[in-house]
Amino acid sequence: MPEPWASPDGNFTLFPFFSDFKGPNGAALSALETAVLASLFALALAANGSAIRLMVRRKGRLRAANSLVLNLFCADLLFVSAVPVIAVVRWTESWTLGDGLCHLLFYLMSLSGSVTILSLAAVSLERLVSIVRLRPSQPYKRRRVGALLLLIWAFSALTTLPFCLFFTVQVVSLRGQEVYICTLIWPSTIGEACWDACFVFVVFLIPGVVIVISYSKILQIAKASRRRLDAGMAYSERSHVRISQQDFKLLRTLFILMVSFFVMWSPIIITILLILVQKFKTDVNIMPSFFFWIMVFTFSNSVLNPVLYNAAHFKHEWRKIFICCPGPVGKKEPATDTTLGHHNHGHFTVSVISH
């Protein structure tokens, strides 16, 4: 059981986050943690870097949906940039990296998480609007896309600012020795509780509701389209949306990205809320090692996102990069685009575009 670290005024205990004093077996545990972190870091860099490269090299102007997915990959890279710092802290146990990096570490991590879910919400809403309007999605002006991306990052930077302001290095007494930890200290406990509730609601729950509603509506459109096709019903080209099986598969990929985000980020959100409760409830005891492995699980989402997306959208190029197997000579798999296209026969679909 970890020893409690008292706050400067002695009213509550501090949580050490990534600092963990492991005892005699600390070196072996740190070696295992470093191996896991290094593997995740390398995989995340390779997967997201390749995904960004493939999307940038795609012919034609990036559309709004693709720009938002590209933004998601950039946020993943920012998120995993914290891995080397965490690895150092797991070895040193005490915080030795200075007050500035303490302020930035959790701020950048929370910023990237906020950007990720807002990008997922924006791309789901963009897909729904394009389908419901029954018209092909044209390449957006760069200024509009740039303004949307800037808004996402600015909003995320503002809502996560308390992590930058209130994370600080504190000296605590442990086993008769003074050690340093990077921990979160709010000026007001009530303010912390209010901000936690608002942050989860605004940055986590509201975008989640937008995503669920958007994809639920898209699924309803897809099912209605299938029923009409199965019944052999004739329908007006201007009054219905036809979503093909392959196009539906591409939309399902984005839906899976949303599900994976909530599955892999919910544990860390819940854990942070429990850390707040732990300050005042002595029977709630979150160990630093538990927080670390929950965070590792969250980091793995940065590897999963590009793998899921590009395995479906860039299967041919993905195989060439990672498996060194170019596939049958002379046969090139179609690159796919998650935007609405306009076919010559007049039907509007979520199309597959061959380059």
Read off the tokens for 234. Answer: 């004739």
Least confident of 250-264, 296-310, 318-332, 334-348: 334-348
pLDDT of amino acid 111: 95
Least confident of 63-77, 83-97, 203-217, 307-321: 307-321
Average pLDDT in the 288-301 region? 92
In this prediction, residue 166 has a pLDDT band, given cuts at 50, 70 and 90, of very high
- Tell me the CA distances in angstroms from 44 to 80, 260, 293, one per residue in order: 7, 15, 17
Instruction: Give yes or no for a contact between 311 and 256, defined as CB atoms under 8 angstroms apart.
Output: no
Instruction: Give yes or no for a contact between 184 and 273, defined as CB atoms under 8 angstroms apart.
Output: no
